[in-house]
Structure 1
Amino acid sequence: MVDLLLASQNMHYEFRMVSLAAESAQAAYLSNSSELPDCLYELFRSVEQATPATRDGSVKASILVTTDYSDLPLLIVACRGTASLVDWLVNLDGDLEDCSNFISQRQGTSSFNVEPDIARTTAHAGLLRIAKCMASEVCNKILDAGSSRFTTTGGGRKPVLMVTGHSAGGGVASLMSSHIRLRRHDIVDRFEAVHCVTFAAPPVFDSPDTVNDVPNLPLGLSINIVNYGDIVPRADKAYIKSLLALYIERAESLIDDIWDFGEPIAWNYGQNVLLMDVAPIDADAQNADGDDGTDIKAFSPDMEDACFWKCEITSNGRMYEGNKMPESLNLGVSEFETRLN
């Protein structure tokens, strides 16, 4: 019973974090706080600009959000996704560039037990340059907010830090989060946990080992929410080239052979949570059981399965897959399964 209660509490906590991250990631697309809908001020105590977007695309617009929940003092950094032609040019700069001077284990002490042998080699060049340009200013604002806004909030409890973003903004958030966790112990020690929750973020690292860069981080979520069929979470440089080849070869063709997109050369940061429509027969079964009929389920596939890497692509009305979906996921069997309202 105790285990079930703890599991339920953890699920509620994670859902709450994802919900607040989603609201913040969406708000990051608005240019100033005056454009925010009134309902957001029921969720957040304050919303302010952390960094303005630059014309050359070297810095993304980002916002700093705080909450005043007595049970959850929370500071959120949300990075805006693609919003201009310059942003697209940055996105397409997908060569893998050395990131060891930005994301690697730094000497020093921290309250978090960090693996000492973690090393990064390369990351998405365009997004890495943005993260580097933003890091100093964003980290300074995190430190200022952490010391000035949460001194007494929550009865002296340490606040929680969450970094989030959608699409390319999620890629930058991933790089920033890993940078903070591994190199900014001055920030890490001021917070109870450091979460990274992204939405449709592209692959940014050259290794799937980035899923757990801080294995013993207490309550430190690393989640990337992915819609099934979305190409962005799979869009490394090799995949984009393969997409172009697919359309050139089969745009006017009725061939329905499976198209092999090859293995990924870059990986997402964190555990991917795949959102899929429930088949109509499953939805009917839910209703028959007195369920609410929710037609979306969330799955956390094994990295070995990684079915979302093999995104279905429509060409002339036909579907092409790089690989068949694992039977376990078709049946809804996974280590993390829930339904989203």
Structure 2
Amino acid sequence: MFERWYALDAGSHQIRIYDESKDCFVQFQSLIAYKNNEIVALSHDALEYVYHRSTSIKVKYPFSEGKIKGDIVPLIQYGLNLKKEKSIFSKPCLLICLPDKNETEQDKWLKALKNEGIRKIEFISIPQLMNEKIHFYIHAGHSYTLIGCNVNGKEILYKQIPFAGIQMDEAIVQTVLKKTSCIISKEDARILKEACSKSLNINKNANLTCFGMNKYNQYEKINITSMNIWPDLLAIEQQIVLWTKQMISSCNLDLQEKILEQGIYLSGGLANCFGLRAYLKHELHCPIICTQSPQYDIINKMKGWKK
């Protein structure tokens, strides 16, 4: 029987949906703007509401740390362009990637999408996607980092730690406040983080600008350098390296040797952050394997699972 499968990688900042039949995918931001509890904008269109001063307007992120924290249905409808089709054959099937096999979280997804015209829903975990013979991996995303190891398809190590991109953003917000006495949004902090990373990658201490709210509740242009916010990035990278070293040291000596010989697979959007790969390589003395676009590794690994 013909089934049209979509793969879904729902991140706290970006949602990616891959259409198996057309071999293409869409990507959009995972945020919703509400006014008096009514939806006024989704995804990229909701960004402009980040700067609204009205207390009746709220911008919410329904995913965090791989878990549902709010109403996900509008974003899934937006991504799949769902329509209430009469024929069961036109209804999509959905393969959803989660950090682990948490049944409570799976039940949340099933309950949320129960009446949304989806024919079938299945789940796959990130460790399941990392199924090589001996595979030590770090998946560093926006709201969490996963560290794990599979041996012959069996999960040997698994740890989810709260050190990732969003913690960098929160630290940048505080740094900007101390340096300029202005408050910036987490979206602006994320943009500063990415600009800082790009400039340091080409050995430049760039002068970065954005708008922040001053003590008079007015927006003003602020300036800060890459080196001013680099410590905020480094602090999170140090935590990731520390946890990785602890996880490897918990393995027996034979497995440690094989891991360090084979190298560590690094994926997720934070893999692009300045310093992380080099820091891991320096501290662990092993190859760090990373694709050209690590932010797409999960959705790429999901391709073909439901053919």
TM-score in terms of structure 2 length: 0.33
Higher strand content, 1 or 2: 2
TM-score in terms of structure 1 length: 0.31
